[in-house]
């Protein structure tokens, strides 16, 4: 049976788009672009022009009509370009998009069982604080807030001053925390880092944020060990929520597999050493000795 383009298929299709233009003659829309033409005046459609972001003048139009100028006066300064100015329109769209990209929230993943380390990795001290607190402090300058992703039984271990986010998707590894974060706030982008990254620096996080591509599913670093993206130092955009759920519905709970098979922006890490994780007691001892020597 063939499925038609019903409202559910439509929403799935829309979720895959970075920008959608809607014909305002037939549908009401926010964040409007008004095209002014002498052949199709807008004086009888002013009630629909409630959120004009840009005005484009058709070839026959050299200036804004008085009625439209008066209508838009209450909206403040609205940029006006010529419809033929392709480069100018593209620049405006890019700047508009950058100013309206989803807010960035931070998530420190601490919910692993730490079986190889034989102790809770989030509570180890490579610096002045427990690793979960240290990672949260690194994220704080780049995010509107930072949450600690943890298992329900770990909530009492989250230090005072930090906000726990107990897993609502269970036994899925790192994907448990990422999906729980999106269930908590599906409209935010989540900057996710694992708690076992004692070498991670503010400079590497700044590079990731500055090179974020909000139009893709995620922005991640390429692993220094192979050609695959590193899922646990990654900005997951809101559109990735549906993608993650689709992969989970097919039986895949590996975030790296999602990144490999999705529209992901992959960056070269400026300092590959920063991506090094520590999983065993021997690696821990070596890392502590290395960090003491810095």
At residue 46, does pLDDT exceed 90? no
In which band, very low, low, confident or very high, does the pLDDT at 15 lie, cut at 50, 70 and 90?
Answer: confident
In which band, very low, low, confident or very high, does the pLDDT at 133 lie, cut at 50, 70 and 90?
Answer: very high
Secondary structure tally for the chain: helices H, strands E:
9, 10
Q: Is the pTM of this model over 0.85?
A: no
**Contact of 51 with 30, CB cutoff 8 Å:** yes
Domain's final residue, options 40, 65, 99: 99
Domain identity same for 154 and 190: yes
**112 part of a folded domain:** yes
Supply the pLDDT for residue 195: 92
Domain identity same for 143 and 272: yes
Supply the pLDDT for residue 3: 64
C-alpha span between 1 and 288 (Å, rounded): 60
C-alpha span between 9 and 33 (Å, rounded): 26
Supply the pLDDT for residue 75: 64
Supply the pLDDT for residue 271: 94
DSSP code per residue over 134-170: HHHHHHGGGSS-EEEEE-GGGGGGSPTTSEEEE-SS-
149/96: higher pLDDT: 149
Mean pLDDT for 77-84 is: 90
E-only strand ranges, 138-276:
146-150, 163-166, 189-194, 218-222, 229-236, 264-267
Supply the pLDDT for residue 64: 87
Mean pLDDT for 264-284 is: 92
Helix-strand-coil split of the chain, %, nearest 5: 35, 20, 45
User: 51-60, 91-100, 127-136: which has the highest mean pLDDT?
Assistant: 127-136
C-alpha span between 56 and 85 (Å, rounded): 9
Supply the pLDDT for residue 100: 81
Supply the pLDDT for residue 31: 87
Q: Which of 183, 157, 35 is nearest to 105 (CA)?
A: 183
Domain identity same for 136 and 60: no
Backbone angles phi, psi at 55, to 5 degrees: -115, 130
pLDDT digits (tens, 9 = 90+) for 62-76: 888 888 888 888 767
Q: Is 139 exposed, middle or buried (0-12, 13-18, 19+ CB in 10 A)?
A: buried
Supply the pLDDT for residue 17: 74
Q: Is 242 exposed, middle or buried (0-12, 13-18, 19+ CB in 10 A)?
A: middle
At residue 10, does pLDDT exceed 80? no
Between 20-34, 81-95, 126-140, 171-185, the lowest mean confidence (pLDDT) is in 20-34
In which band, very low, low, confident or very high, does the pLDDT at 294 lie, cut at 50, 70 and 90?
Answer: low
Number of folded domains in the chain?
Answer: 2
**59 part of a folded domain:** yes
Q: Is 19 exposed, middle or buried (0-12, 13-18, 19+ CB in 10 A)?
A: exposed
**235 part of a folded domain:** yes
Domain's final residue, options 75, 99, 123: 99
At residue 157, does pLDDT exceed 70? yes
- Average model confidence (pLDDT) for the chain? 90
Supply the pLDDT for residue 2: 65
Supply the pLDDT for residue 162: 95
Supply the pLDDT for residue 141: 98
- Cβ partners under 8 Å of residue 99, min gap 6: none
**13 part of a folded domain:** no
Domain that holds residue 257: 104-292
Domain's final residue, options 99, 125, 142: 99
At residue 90, does pLDDT exceed 80? yes
In which band, very low, low, confident or very high, does the pLDDT at 201 lie, cut at 50, 70 and 90?
Answer: very high
Domain identity same for 48 and 132: no
At residue 197, does pLDDT exceed 70? yes
At residue 1, does pLDDT exceed 60? no
240/17: higher pLDDT: 240
Residue with tokens 């200036």: 63
């Amino acid at each position: 049976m063939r499925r038609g383009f019903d409202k559910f298929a439509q929403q799935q299709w829309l979720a895959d788009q970075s920008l959608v233009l809607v014909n305002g003659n037939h549908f009401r829309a926010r964040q409007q672009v008004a095209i002014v033409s002498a052949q199709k005046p807008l004086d009888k459609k002013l009630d629909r022009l409630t959120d004009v972001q840009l005005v484009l003048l058709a070839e026959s139009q050299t200036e804004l009509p008085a009625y439209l100028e008066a209508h838009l006066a209450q909206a403040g300064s609205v940029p006006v370009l010529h419809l033929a100015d392709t480069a100018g329109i593209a620049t405006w769209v890019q700047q508009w998009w950058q100013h309206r990209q989803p807010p960035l929230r931070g998530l420190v993943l601490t919910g692993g069982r730490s079986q190889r380390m034989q102790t809770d990795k989030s509570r180890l001290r490579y610096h002045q604080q427990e690793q979960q607190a240290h990672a949260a402090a690194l994220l704080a300058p780049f995010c509107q807030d930072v949450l600690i992703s943890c298992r329900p039984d770990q909530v009492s271990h989250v230090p005072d001053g930090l906000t726990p986010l107990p897993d609502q998707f269970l036994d899925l590894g790192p994907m448990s925390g990422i999906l729980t974060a999106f269930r908590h706030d599906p409209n935010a982008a989540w900057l996710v880092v694992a708690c076992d990254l004692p070498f991670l620096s503010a400079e590497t996080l700044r590079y990731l944020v500055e090179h974020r591509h909000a139009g893709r599913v995620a922005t991640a670093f390429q692993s220094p060990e192979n050609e695959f993206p590193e899922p646990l130092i990654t900005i997951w955009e809101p559109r990735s929520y549906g993608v993650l759920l689709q992969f989970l519905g097919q039986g895949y709970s590996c975030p790296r597999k999602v990144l490999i098979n999705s529209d992901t922006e992959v960056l070269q890490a400026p300092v590959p050493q920063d991506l090094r994780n520590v999983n065993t007691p021997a690696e821990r001892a070596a890392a502590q000795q290395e960090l003491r020597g810095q």
